[in-house]
């Protein structure tokens, strides 16, 4: 299970996220980015955060530590924003905390270079969990102490919003053309060779075991929390075997405002959109 702690002070809302996460201090003296059960995306966003985030960590990718964060709504009484107060009122009990990385910077492809091996591992992982939210528009990556860290996985595992058709996700294509790391020549084949054998049912089951029971409602064909966890383990372990065969890295969409140096479109010259 995730380490447990209790929020002791609500510091400030983080309005960059659509779910209105907040910065909180906790009883273990840590500072966390809190993701709340009462947010509009619902508890499945937190399930995705845990399953994908813990899987990434077990595969050696950098993801801030996740904790189970107990929240008493009274910590928001001094917050002047009524929207925040209402969110905290709806989020009493167990929520999700992500370790805050002080001084980190948002990833900028024009200022930070990523090697093909690391880029390949991240793109392969995002394809595995069907991450629709690591594009150049919204990279959801931070640079901290010179290293690249992955954050915000609530939009992964899109298939679990239609649980009865989960089996179709095994061979679902993944278009990485707009991925934030596509310009860096990701070596997806090498990533598959290194990571796919590690994604066993047992490994994914260990990640899913970190999801609290109360976040896992019964689903079609999965009447209890353990059965729901088993579906995550089955789908992800099966998808890992062949996901690299279903990844497309093509030319980025034309509304791309800027790009890292080195993106080639097949015309032996940099793309005209934002080229330097």
The whole-model pTM stands at 0.90
pLDDT number for residue 79: 85
For the stretch 5-43, pLDDT in tens is: 999 999 999 977 667 999 999 999 999 999 999 998 899
Together in a domain, 113 and 233: yes
For the stretch 74-116, pLDDT in tens is: 998 888 989 999 999 999 999 999 999 999 999 999 899 999 9
Together in a domain, 138 and 87: no
Whether residue 232 contacts residue 204, with contact meaning beta carbons closer than 8 Å, is answered with yes
Tokens linked to 257: 């405002």
What distances in angstroms separate CA 89 from CA 97, 148, 223, 226, 243, one per listed residue? 17, 35, 29, 29, 41
Backbone angles phi, psi at 147, to 5 degrees: -115, 155
Query: In the chain, pLDDT over 70 holds for what percent of residues?
Result: 91
Structural domain count of the chain: 2
pLDDT number for residue 251: 77
For the stretch 207-240, pLDDT in tens is: 999 999 999 999 999 999 999 999 999 999 999 9
Residue span of the structural domain in which 46 resides? 4-103
pLDDT number for residue 266: 31
Together in a domain, 56 and 140: no
């Amino acid at each position: 299970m995730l380490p447990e702690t209790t929020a002791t002070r609500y510091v400030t809302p983080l309005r960059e996220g659509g779910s209105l996460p907040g910065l909180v201090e906790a009883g273990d003296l840590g500072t966390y980015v809190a993701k709340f059960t009462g947010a509009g995306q619902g508890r499945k966003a937190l399930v995705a955060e845990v399953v994908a985030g813990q899987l990434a960590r077990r595969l050696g990718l950098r993801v801030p530590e996740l904790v189970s964060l107990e929240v008493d709504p009274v910590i928001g009484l001094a917050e002047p924003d009524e929207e925040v107060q209402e969110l905290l009122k709806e989020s009493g009990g167990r929520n999700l905390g992500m370790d805050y990385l002080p001084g980190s910077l948002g990833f900028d492809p024009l200022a930070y270079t990523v090697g093909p091996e690391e880029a390949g591992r991240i793109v392969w992982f995002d394809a595995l969990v069907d991450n629709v939210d690591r594009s150049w528009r919204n990279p959801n990556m931070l640079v901290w102490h010179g290293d690249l860290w992955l954050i915000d996985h609530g939009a992964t595992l899109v298939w679990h919003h239609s649980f009865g058709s989960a089996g179709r996700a095994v061979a679902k294509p993944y278009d990485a053309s707009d991925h934030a790391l596509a310009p860096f020549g990701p070596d997806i084949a090498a990533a598959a060779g290194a990571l796919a054998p590690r994604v066993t049912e047992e490994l994914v089951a260990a990640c899913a075991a970190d999801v609290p029971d109360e976040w896992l409602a019964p689903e079609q064909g999965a009447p209890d929390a353990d059965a729901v966890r088993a579906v995550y383990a089955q789908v992800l372990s099966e998808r890992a075997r062949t996901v690299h065969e279903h990844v497309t890295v093509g030319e980025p969409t034309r509304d791309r405002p800027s790009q890292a140096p080195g993106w080639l479109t097949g015309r032996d010259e940099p793309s005209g959109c934002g080229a330097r």
